[in-house]
Structure 1
Amino acid sequence: MHIKTTKCSRYCLVASTAPPELFDRPDAQARFEGLFRSFDPQVQFQYFRSFRRVRISFQDALAAAEARLRLHKTDLNGREMRLYFAQSVHIGGPHLEPPKPDKQFLISPPASPPVGWEQSPDARPVVNYDLLCAIAKLGPGDKYELHTATPTTPSVVVHVCEDDHADSSGPDDSDHDDKPRPPRPKIIQTRRPDFVGGVKQ
């Protein structure tokens, strides 16, 4: 929904910079309305206190034009009264319209996708073969410098842990010798606390 046209109404005037007493005192309103009734006896007034504006609706467009020509920038209780033709904004339609169905197929329950919609293919994974090759060359106890040190930043070095306590079930690529392996530490189960019979309130 967008604004299409902005038209000036030939039958309505808007009086701005109206004095504050015009909205509170009936005698001030009577004097103000008398200025415009001389041009059109059937003229109607709408007072907008918050905006300090008065909308003046005429039955004849010529009467509205003559009133603006004669009363524009005249003195009204020590203030300069300015008269403008009211503007009417024409929007797309008299009622609100639903939004365009661009992405309504994502709403649950899903509706039919729009015409021409296709599923985007997943991107192919990126494999850094240089990094995989460098990791494959690492052995126990070796180190690999990922980032060289600069005057303002430290270096980043990866140290590979020693494989002294490897699992005996896994493959062993080291030399097959008769050296005994150190015993693996035994995990001792934590003892359950003693049961306390009652809870005191």
Structure 2
Amino acid sequence: MVTIRDARPGDRAAVAAMLARAFVDDPAMSYIFPDAADRARRLPRLFGLLFDTDAAGMRLVSQAADAGTFWRPPGQAHVPIMAYVRRLIPVLHALGGALPRAMRLGEAIEAHFPKEPFWYLHIAGVDPARQWCGLGGASIRAGLARCDASGLPAYLETATESNVGLYARLGFVPIGDWSVAGGGPRFWSMRRPAGAR
């Protein structure tokens, strides 16, 4: 049986390192950091920053922190620019010269957010060494149970086409696909009504 729990502050480094391994070949991360060596060096910093900025929502991890999901609460999917300005040094440390590409990608993502209130599945990842053990599905289902309790839908986007089927099995329905302007990756937007099976 898979145990999913709320992440604790002390999980930050392990979760950031796990997500860096999980996203090393992700199309969105490859767009932000085209150089593989730079990507491998910067992803733990970026996911550490996201661990911090997503603290207002749900940060769910497996017992050993080898899988996890970050959820932003309704009304907080968009992160105001001032939130990044207040963390300017960590943002620059994480992104370096990739900041313009990251901002372009972020703006494209936010342009496709639903107008209705929703829980935003911002990040979902599993350590590559632990994939296909049910950890990813368990961590997503744990978050979805809380979304269902709130009576609000969940929303996500993925730049990995093979993930669309996984999310569909969890009740998400594709609502559109789009690409980031200027040669950026293609994304699939998906929505799951509250209580969907």
Structure showing greater Rg: 1
Could you state the TM-score of these two structures normalised by the residue count of structure 1?
0.23
Could you state the TM-score of these two structures normalised by the residue count of structure 2?
0.23
Greater relative CO (CA pairs within 8 A, separation 6+): 2
